Structure 1
C-alpha cells in the first residue's frame, strides 16, 4: 500500500504567494524530487480558502508518495532528505506534516 507524506504550509511573512510557489516548485522541488524511492510528487498552490476566504491560512500543499513505509523511512534517512529539509530551516511560516496510508478510491472496489 502506498504511503504519502502530506505537507500543508504557509509562506514566510515577508514572502508573497508567488515567491513561495516559485520557490516550492523550483529550488525546493529540485531538492525533493531526487529523494530515493519517491514515486509521485505533487504540489498545489492554494487559490481559495473556503474556511477563511479573506485571509487564507495556507499557501500550498505537497504530496510525496512512496511504495510503502520502508521506502519512506529510507528517504527520511537519506542525505537527499537532509539537503531538502535544510532549505526550510529558519524560513518562518507554518506547516502541518501528515503520513498517510493511501488508497485510490477510483481504482476499484478495494477500499483498504
Structure 2
C-alpha cells in the first residue's frame, strides 16, 4: 500500500508567497528529487483557506509518496533525506507533517 508524507507549511515571516513557492519548487524540489524510493512528489500553493479566509494559516503543501512504509523508512535514513531537510532548518516558518496510508478512491478497487 502506498505511503505518503503530507506536509503543510507556512513561509518564513520575511518571505513573500512568491519567494517561498520559488524556493520550494526550485532548490528544495531539486534536493527532494534525489531521495531514494520517492515515486511521486507534488506541491501545491494554498490559494484559499476556508477556515481562515482573511489570513491563511498555510502557504503550501507537499505530498511525497513511497511504495510502502519500508521505502519511506529507508528514505528517512538516507543522506539525500538529510540534505533535503537541512535546507529547512532555521527558516522560521511553521509546518505540520503526517504520514498516511492511501488508496485511490477513483480507481474503483478500494477493498
Q: Does the alignment reach a TM-score above 0.5?
A: yes
| Structure 2 CA distance for aligned equivalents of residues 110 and 18 of structure 1 | 38
| Structure 2 CA distance for aligned equivalents of residues 33 and 12 of structure 1 | 23
| Structure 1 CA distance for aligned equivalents of residues 4 and 109 of structure 2 | 21
* Equivalent residue, structure 1, for 2:29: 29
* Equivalent residue, structure 1, for 2:88: 88
* Equivalent residue, structure 2, for 1:53: 53
- Unmatched tracts of structure 1, length 5 or more: none
Matched position secondary structure for 2:7: strand
- Unmatched tracts of structure 2, length 5 or more: none
Matched position secondary structure for 1:30: helix
Taking structure 1 as the reference length, the TM-score comes to 0.97
User: How far has the Cα of 1:109 moved from its partner?
Assistant: 3.6
- Number of equivalenced pairs: 111
* Equivalent residue, structure 1, for 2:70: 70
* Equivalent residue, structure 2, for 1:18: 18
RMSD: 0.7
What stretches of structure 1 move > 2 A for 4+ residues in a row?
Answer: none
Q: Deviations over 1:86-108 (max 9, x none)?
A: 00000011000000001100001
* Equivalent residue, structure 2, for 1:44: 44
